[in-house]
Amino acid sequence: MKHLLKLLDLSGEDINELLNLADQLKYEQKHHIPHPRLAGKTLGMIFEKASTRTRVSFEVGMNQLGGQPLFLSAGDMQIGRGEPVQDTARVLSRYLDGIMIRTFKQDEVEALAQYGSIPIINGLTDFAHPCQVLADLMTIREYKGSLDGLKMCFIGDGNNMMNSLIVGGLKSKMEVAVACPKDYRPAAEVLDFAMQHPAFSMTEDPMEAAKGADVVITDVWASMGQEEEAAKRRAAFAGYQINSQVMSVAKPDAMVLHCLPAHREEEITGEIFEKHSKEIFDEAENRLHAQKAVLVKLLG
C-alpha cells in the first residue's frame, strides 16, 4: 500500500490490517504508552473544503505519533490561484513525508499521487471518504466483535460516504444494502464493483434496506459543494430518513452511525441521533485511531 486514494485500491486484507493496527494504537493511547513512530516526519494537509474532524484528528494524530502536521489552506496556496496539481505534487514531495488532501475532484488526488513521490491520503473528495469509512468499520467491529456476515444498511445520497461504505463493507465481507432515490445512485465505478457481489443490494425503499440490519448509516442530503441544490435535495430525499419506523425493522440491537456533521430532522431524527450518540461519537473518535494507523502504515 503506497497511498490511500480510495478503498477500491485496497484488498480486504489491507483493510483488516489497518483496523488491527488502529485497535493497537488506540490501546496504546488509552494506556498512555508513547508511540512516536513518525518522529521527524511532516504531513502536509491541504484543505479545499471545510473540516472539523478530519483536520483536528490528523493534526492531533501526527503529534501523538511524534511527527509534525502542517495545515495548508488551498485558498492561501498557489494551487488556489491555478498552479497545476502536477507541479504542486513535485514541489511538496521535496519538503514533506506525506500529504493529506481534502478536495472536490478525485482526479486531483490521483494526480498528486501520480506526479508526487510521497504517500497521498484522501481526506474526502466528492467520490470517496476512505478515512471515515475505516473509522466506521473499526467502530462496528468494536461493538459487534467482527464484520463478517453483518448487514450494513445505508439510507440516503449516493455520495462519497455511500460509495466508500459499499466498497469497504463488501471488502470486509459484510452484506451491504443501500436505499436511495433513483437519481441519486452511487458512482458507476462503485456499482460496477458492487454488482459482482451477491451480498450487495440497492433499492428505492429504505424499509427494505433496513430490514434485519446490524448497522444503519446515513449522511447529509447535500454535501459540501452542493449547497445550492439543498432545497431540491430536501424534496428528493424526503422519504429517506433514519427514524423510529426505519429502526423498527432493523435488528433490535442495531447500531446507528453518522459521519457528521448531522442535520437533525432531515436525514436522521433528533431522537434516533441521541439514542445512538454513544456509537456516533465513538465513530468520530475512531477517526483519530484509524488515521494514525494509515499514517504509520504509509509514512512509517
- Positions touching ligand NVA (CB under 6 A) are 124, 159-161, 219-220, 223-224, 259
- Which one from 3, 53, 102, 289 is the annotated catalytic residue? 102
Residue nearest to ligand NVA (CB): 223
129 catalytic? Reply is yes
User: 251 Cβ partners below 8 Å, 6+ apart?
Assistant: 151, 212, 213, 214
51 interacts with ligand CP by CB under 6 A: yes
**Residue 85 Cβ, how far from ligand CP at the closest point, in Å?**
21
Burial 38-70 (b: 16+ CB within 10 A, else e): beebbbbbbbbbeeebbbebbbebbebbebbbe
- Which one from 3, 97, 126, 129 is the annotated catalytic residue? 129
User: 119 Cβ partners below 8 Å, 6+ apart?
Assistant: 2, 3, 4, 97, 98, 99, 298, 299
74 interacts with ligand CP by CB under 6 A: no
Alpha carbon 164 to chain centroid distance? 7
**Residue 294 Cβ, how far from ligand NVA at the closest point, in Å?**
17
102 catalytic? Reply is yes
- Which one from 64, 132, 241, 291 is the annotated catalytic residue? 132
**Residue 259 Cβ, how far from ligand NVA at the closest point, in Å?**
5
**Residue 156 Cβ, how far from ligand NVA at the closest point, in Å?**
9
In the sheet that holds 98-102, the strands lie side by side as: 68-73, 42-47, 98-102, 120-122
81 catalytic? Reply is no
In terms of CB distance, is 97 or 267 closer to ligand NVA? 267
161 interacts with ligand CP by CB under 6 A: no
Q: Are 209 and 185 in contact (CB under 8 A)?
A: no
Known catalytic residues are 102, 129, 132, 219, 259, 287
